[in-house]
Amino acid sequence: MQIRALSGEPLGVEVLGADLRTATAEDVERMVDAMHRTGRGVLVVRDQHLAPTDCERACAMLAPHFVAQQPYTRWPGQSKPIPGCPHLALLGNYRAREDNEFGMDVVKGEVIGEYKPAKQNLEEWHTDGSFLPNPKVAIALYAPQLDDALPPEGGETRFASCTAAFEALAREEQEKLRGLCSVHSWEKFMRLLESRDPGRQKVTAEQIAEKPPQLWPVVRTHPVTKAESLYINPKNTAAVVNKATGEPIPEEDARRLVDRLAEAVVGDGLPGNSKVYAHTWKRGDFVIWDNRVLLHAASPFDAEKYQRLLFRMEFKGEPVLGPSTP
């Protein structure tokens, strides 16, 4: 097994010559350690041949490093379940090639993944589940070994480091940000998805009430590396609050601040940007990222011409630790 930094990229490590079906606990520990120390939170394991149940087992091996596996509670628009795989969902516009593909209750020709049309703008960048009481620690995606299930152009998954962005700020700016919190809203996130896809099932008032907004520090501390990083979410931030007074700053000022900090993380957000690693998917790629220290974004692709399918797995959340310097 070889682990090395992604050549020419601002973040990420890749693993060659490993098989997640047979990897040992020691193998996984080496991978995760390199992900934290060298990869700034992104790990790419190449050339895997995983059935859905193999993905479940691989994530069970990774789980001790990321709290625990997260079962899917499926809200409107998410994929149907795969029998025997409670921690796995499907992403993309892929259409089933046979009835009951992957054992799912689907018919040939049915779109079986959750398809969220992406846009090339700042609002596309986000961290997953920041609207939850314990935001998700990590996310994993896998590109199965299928023909014509990835677009030949577009469809990358882009990553940028919130830790690197915080470290690059002036000390005075860092200190100011340590005194702020932001409000993360599930309703705002879901309304954004609905606006992009008019056919998407709408969330109800009861569902919104079950996921109230969450207040988190704008600067968080990683529990393993102890590094501070920005914790912002352009996709669902509803307000910014002064921690000392509990008062929100003016709405327009809050929007400008979140946009400015997001730009500090991602630059223009495009592939080729020195702040961004754009992962071009290949069959068999297994990618896991530390959701605590990154913003990520999907890239658009021509969904009329091409199909895209990724298996998606989540890891449970944990409390957000505030800045190491109060």
Domains of the chain, CATH where assigned: 2-314 (3.60.130.10)
pLDDT of residue 192: 78
Query: What Å distances lie between residue 279 and 14, 154, 155, 252, 301, CA to CA?
Result: 11, 10, 9, 33, 14
Higher pLDDT, 40 or 201: 40
Query: What Å distances lie between residue 256 and 46, 71, 232, 237, 250, CA to CA?
Result: 39, 36, 12, 12, 10
Taking only the tens place, the pLDDT of each residue in 36-66 is 999 999 999 999 999 999 999 999 999 999 9
Q: Is the pLDDT of residue 253 over 90?
A: yes
Q: Tokens for 79, please give them.
A: 């994929």
Whole-model pTM: value is 0.93
Q: Is the pLDDT of residue 210 over 90?
A: no
List the single range of 101-105, 281-285, 321-325 with lowest mean pLDDT: 321-325
What's the rounded mean pLDDT across residues 285-291? 98
> What CA–CA distance (Å, rounded) separates 179 from 322?
10
Task: Quote the Cα angle for 103-197-115, to 5°.
Answer: 30
pLDDT of residue 325: 65
Contact 260, 214 (CB under 8 A): no
pLDDT of residue 161: 98
Higher pLDDT, 68 or 122: 68
How many other C-beta atoms are found inside a 10 Å radius of the C-beta of residue 252?
Answer: 8
> What CA–CA distance (Å, rounded) separates 12 from 26?
20
pLDDT of residue 257: 96
What's the rounded mean pLDDT across residues 139-161? 97
Give burial (CB, 10 Å; 0-12/13-18/19+) of 150: buried
Taking only the tens place, the pLDDT of each residue in 262-280 is 999 999 888 888 999 999 9
Higher pLDDT, 73 or 181: 181
What's the rounded mean pLDDT across residues 113-121? 88
Contact 130, 162 (CB under 8 A): no
Contact 217, 273 (CB under 8 A): no
pLDDT of residue 326: 61
pLDDT of residue 78: 81
pLDDT of residue 153: 96
Return mean pLDDT, the chain. Answer: 94
Q: Is the pLDDT of residue 252 over 70?
A: yes
Q: Is the pLDDT of residue 75 over 70?
A: no
